[in-house]
């Protein structure tokens, strides 16, 4: 895994950083992305909100046909970003079409309902194809369907890292110590 690549505002970007992680199934790689941080920014599956951002991500990572951060698992036919600063934002619906930005391949989202090898499942997760267009895909691998154990684009930006437990413990200990010191001084 190489170092993350910045989409600099000097070239019209958002100053966020991008990299590949995985491979894993969509749900698992989402959890993995959200456990990562870079330069004090929390990671999440990439949320692509413009044609320019899509071109940047596709140009750098599209050849690996990675997962990106959209899903309609919570409400069939309503595609939302599931992470990052856009968490919960609807970008496409089956009734309205594109709400903010979407770049579906022709005939997508197809929402195929198929046996995945473990269960029947709709295609609820977002994948970027090699040409930068988007495809909906099952979470799990099936021998007769497209393999879904794949890399994902992780994005860092717009969210600060959540303090790790040891940092919170030290902060709490320091506050408790100051409170105790203050009580001791008042008693003097």
In a domain, 90, yes or no: yes
In a domain, 49, yes or no: yes
Give the pLDDT score at 183: 59
**Residue 164 confidence (pLDDT) above 60:** no
pTM, two decimals, is 0.80
Q: Which residue has the tokens 């997962």?
A: 67
pLDDT digits (tens, 9 = 90+) for 65-105: 999 999 999 999 999 999 999 999 999 999 999 999 999 99
Domain count, the chain: 1
In a domain, 167, yes or no: no
**DSSP string for 40-95:** TEEEEE----SHHHHHHHHHHHGGG--EEEEE-SSSTTEEEE-SSTTTT-EEEETT
In which domain, by residue range, is 79 found?
5-161
In a domain, 149, yes or no: yes
In a domain, 182, yes or no: no
Checking DSSP bridges between strand 97-98 and strand 114-115, what pairing results, if any? unpaired
**Residue 2 confidence (pLDDT) above 50:** yes
Q: What is the percent of the chain where pLDDT is above 70?
A: 76
CA distance 72 to 124: 5
CATH number for position 16: 3.10.100.10
């Amino acid at each position: 895994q190489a170092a993350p690549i910045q989409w600099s505002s000097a070239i019209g970007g958002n100053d966020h950083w991008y990299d590949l992680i995985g491979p894993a199934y969509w749900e698992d790689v989402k959890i993995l992305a959200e456990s990562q941080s870079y330069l004090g920014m929390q990671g999440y599956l990439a949320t692509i909100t413009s044609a320019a951002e899509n071109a940047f991500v596709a140009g750098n990572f599209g050849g690996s046909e990675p997962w990106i951060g959209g899903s309609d698992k919570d409400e069939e036919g309503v595609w939302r970003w599931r992470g990052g600063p856009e968490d919960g934002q609807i970008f496409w619906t089956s009734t309205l079409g594109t709400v903010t930005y979407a770049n579906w391949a022709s005939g997508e989202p197809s929402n195929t309902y198929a046996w995945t090898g473990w269960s029947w499942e709709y295609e609820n997760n977002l994948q970027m194809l090699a040409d930068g267009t988007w495809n909906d895909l099952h979470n799990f691998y099936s021998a007769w369907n497209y393999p879904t154990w794949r890399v994902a684009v992780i994005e860092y930006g717009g969210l600060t890292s959540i303090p790790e437990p040891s940092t919170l413990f030290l902060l709490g200990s320091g506050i408790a110590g100051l409170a105790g010191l203050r009580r001791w001084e008042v008693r003097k």
